[in-house]
């Protein structure tokens, strides 16, 4: 194999990506070569461009996400590829999607600020679920009384929703023009958002998951459509101003307890 030939190098990179269970960065791809045969970054990029062109007209594509490059099934095949899994993907609740969308667009943001925008309290289980999936993390604490934690999205969030960076988030102003048929009805508070399985993991990851628990994925456009629904409600997000909530005030509690009958007798004997 002539590694100086972009086509041969592209074929080798394709093999790496097919065998990997996760995205591979440019640096990681370079580490897979021996010192004497290691291609330069420019050669790797050129080979990746060659690989990307070779995927045209195929059922899969080369996609660059936050963690690196991966080969994935094209999204338009999702309705059919999703039939490989017997169990249906989890349907995320409206409250969870609203919370995640607000963190994605307003980060860093505190729980109190999310509650101010949504108009309702954020269930602790929602925050816990998002942290367990490694979609959000604590990036600091607001310098206000109580020092509430500030949340932001993670690299895993970008990888899961097929994004290279936060700049790929569409502006809120264009949400009304994006796939209106995906916008969920907001008649019920706990209505589940329609979930679509995006089969965008590389082939090796897909084969591994057929014997494991299926990936729980929700279309990010559905998530954005959910946020759009909030914008059209009574509390428009794009014009809402918020401030950190002060820590909850402690209720005044009486520290003196009424003496028991036995205590009164002992007090009488002592002359109190």
Task: Pull the structure tokens for residue 23.
Answer: 């995205």
Which residues constitute the domain of residue 181?
94-190+219-239
Show which of 83, 113, 128 is a domain's final residue: 83
76 and 124 inside one domain: no
Q: Specify the CATH number for the domain of residue 164.
A: 1.10.10.10
140 and 183 housed in the same domain:
yes
- What's this model's pTM, rounded to 2 decimal places? 0.54
Per-residue pLDDT at 23 exceeds 70? yes
Residue 62 lies in a domain: yes
Q: Encode pLDDT of 112-162 as tens digits.
A: 999 988 888 888 999 999 999 999 999 999 999 999 999 999 998 988 888
Same domain, 18 and 134: no
Q: Residues 226, 121: one domain?
A: yes
- Statement to judge: residues 77 and 118 lie in one domain: no
- The answer to whether 179 and 228 are in contact (CB under 8 A) is no
Are 121 and 184 part of one and the same domain? yes
pLDDT at residue number 223: 57
DSSP letters spanning 12-32: HHHHHHHH-SS-B-HHHHHHT
Residue 152 covered by a domain: yes
For the residues 1-5, what does the mean pLDDT come to? 78
Q: How confident is the model at residue 88 (pLDDT cuts 50, 70, 90)?
A: low
Q: Which of 83, 102, 129 is the last residue of a domain?
A: 83
In the block, tokens 């909530």 appear at 245
CA distance 29 to 51: 14
Where is mean pLDDT largest: 77-81, 237-241, 258-262? 77-81
Q: Is 160 exposed, middle or buried (0-12, 13-18, 19+ CB in 10 A)?
A: buried
- Domains of the chain: total: 2
Average pLDDT of the residues of the chain: 71
Residue 107 tokens read as 């980060």
**Whether 118 and 228 share a structural domain:** yes
Pairing of strands 60-65, 149-153: unpaired
Judge whether 125 lies within some domain. Answer: yes
> Is the distance from CB of 133 to CB of 235 less than 8 angstroms?
no
Query: Is residue 29 included in any domain, yes or no?
Result: yes
Give the pLDDT band (50/70/90) at residue 203.
very low
Q: Report yes or no on 265 lying in a domain.
A: no
Please report whether residue 106 resides in a domain. Answer: yes
- 101 and 133, same domain (yes or no): yes
Distance CA 150, CA 128 (A): 14
Taking the C-alpha atoms of residue 103 and residue 165, their distance in angstroms, rounded to an integer, is: 14
Q: Do 59 and 135 share a structural domain? A: no
Same domain, 163 and 231: yes
Percent of residues, the chain, with pLDDT higher than 70: 61
Q: Check: CB of residue 99 under 8 Å from CB of residue 114.
A: yes
Residue 209 has pLDDT above 60, yes or no: no
Residue 178 lies in a domain: yes
Pair 49, 7: CB distance under 8 Å: no
Q: Mark which of 83, 103, 132 sits at the end of a domain.
A: 83
| Section 3-9 average pLDDT | 84
Is the separation of the CB atoms in 223 and 91 below 8 Å?
Answer: no
* Structure tokens belonging to residue 60: 């899969």
DSSP string, 153-202: E-HHHHHHTT-SSGGGSPPGGGGGGS-GGGPPP-SSTTPBPP------S-
Comparing C-alpha atoms, which of 95, 90, 125 is closest to residue 230? 95
**Is the same domain home to 58 and 180?**
no
> 112 and 229, same structural domain?
yes
Residue 12 inside a domain? The answer is: yes
Q: Which two tokens stand for residue 162?
A: 């097929």
| Tokens representing residue 211 in the block | 């014997």
Per-residue model confidence (pLDDT) at position 226: 52
134: left (phi over 0), alpha (psi -120 to 50) or beta: left
Greater pLDDT, 1 or 252: 1
pLDDT at 85 over 80: no
């Amino acid at each position: 194999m002539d590694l100086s030939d972009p086509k041969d190098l592209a074929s080798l990179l394709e093999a790496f990506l097919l065998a990997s269970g996760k995205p591979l960065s440019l640096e990681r791809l370079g580490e897979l070569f021996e010192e004497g045969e290691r291609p330069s970054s420019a050669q790797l990029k050129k080979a990746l461009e060659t690989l990307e062109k070779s995927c045209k007209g195929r059922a899969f594509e080369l996609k660059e996400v936050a963690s690196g490059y991966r080969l994935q099934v094209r999204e338009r095949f999702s309705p059919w590829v999703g039939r490989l899994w017997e169990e249906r993907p989890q349907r995320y609740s409206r409250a969870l999607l609203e919370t995640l969308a607000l963190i994605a667009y307003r980060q860093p943001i505190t729980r109190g600020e999310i509650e101010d925008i949504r108009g309702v309290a954020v269930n602790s289980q929602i925050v816990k679920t998002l942290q367990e999936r490694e979609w959000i993390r604590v990036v600091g604490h607001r310098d206000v009384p109580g020092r509430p934690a500030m949340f932001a999205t993670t690299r895993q969030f970008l990888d899961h929703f097929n994004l290279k960076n936060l700049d790929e988030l569409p502006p809120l102003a264009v949400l009304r023009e994006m796939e209106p048929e995906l916008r969920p009805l907001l008649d019920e508070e706990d209505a589940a958002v329609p979930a679509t399985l995006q089969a965008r993991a590389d082939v090796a990851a897909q084969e591994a998951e057929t014997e494991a628990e299926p990936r729980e994925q929700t279309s990010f456009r559905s998530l954005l459509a959910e946020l759009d629904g909030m914008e059209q409600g009574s509390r428009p997000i794009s014009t809402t101003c918020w401030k950190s909530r002060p820590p909850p005030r402690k209720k005044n509690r009486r520290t003196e307890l009424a003496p028991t009958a036995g205590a009164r007798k002992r007090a009488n004997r002592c002359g109190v």
